[in-house]
Structure 1
């Protein structure tokens, strides 16, 4: 794939893309993301085929989740309740070439007693109809000492509503 020129920067307030194309059914008003992270593709993210290596998609998703969590008002972890990723599912829809500006959109798909399913989409910031991947992760809050699940923090419940 030949490189594309990217001249505009995405912002966390960018408009969401309809979820119908990805088959995601988020909780609540389905078109409103929990968070939209702007991420630029780095040269080092490329593999021998000159596109973003599939493992870097997970890094982009992790970065978006951490950005979202850093904006959650109130405590969402402490010495007795920390999130861990229990499962991840990614549908690779198309390769990402360098340079590119991405939007990683996070949606609340499900809230449980001790877990939350976060749907995600990675799209091109300049061409929002270009879907690079979609899927979801399951985050479980657990007590690191016991390794057992604990109730989802109230701050997360409120932020996911």
Structure 2
């Protein structure tokens, strides 16, 4: 049995990302979606307490895994916040692909999907450490940087922009 082939559209995008035409530059966000390199891969161990009555990880714990992955990544990005600029979670989307059972060792992959003026959209995938093709969940979150004293959005820190650019 042969492996499934990517859709022609995806192959076209991948070729553009590998050999860009200098006269027809694609937007950076489009390139990061076509051939994304992870910003960060966070190891997460499933805890017994994460399970629900059906003996699989409760859906709310997926958000905790994603939060932990973002914090692990941010610890490696100096200058991601100060007293006038801190991130808040503005939106989250999770697609539950299959239940996670205990014991499991997970990897949460984070990728930059979009950079805005004051926000970043991070795509995420939760996969099994031993079987990378075992996808438990995917989706995205939007983080907005704001001034905690005013509650107003502020420009995305340069450190975040630099970290995102390094993975493109």
Bin of the TM-score, shorter chain as denominator length: 0.7 to 0.9
SS in 2 for 1:27: helix
Map 1:36-55 onto structure 2 (within 5 A). 36-55=41-60
Root-mean-square deviation (Å) = 1.7
Q: If the length of structure 1 is used for normalisation, what is the TM-score?
A: 0.82
User: Could you list the runs of 5+ residues in structure 2 that have no partner in the other structure?
Assistant: 1-9, 11-29
Match of 1:89 in 2: 93
CA distance in 2, matches of 1:89, 1:122: 13
Deviating beyond 4 angstroms after TM superposition, the runs of 4 or more aligned structure 1 residues are: none
Shift of 1:30: 2.4
- Equivalent position of 1:71 in the other structure: 76
Instruction: Answer 1 or 2: which has greater helix percent.
Output: 2
Within the alignment, does 1:155 sit opposite 2:155 as a pair? no
- Correspondences of 1:1-161 after superposition (within 5 Å): 27=32, 30-72=35-77, 74-161=78-165
| Structure with the greater alpha carbon radius of gyration | 2
Q: With CA pairs under 8 Å and 6+ residues apart, which has the higher RCO, 1 or 2?
A: 1
Question: Could you tell me the TM-score, scaled by structure 2's length?
Answer: 0.79
Structure 1 residues not aligned, in runs of 5+: 1-19
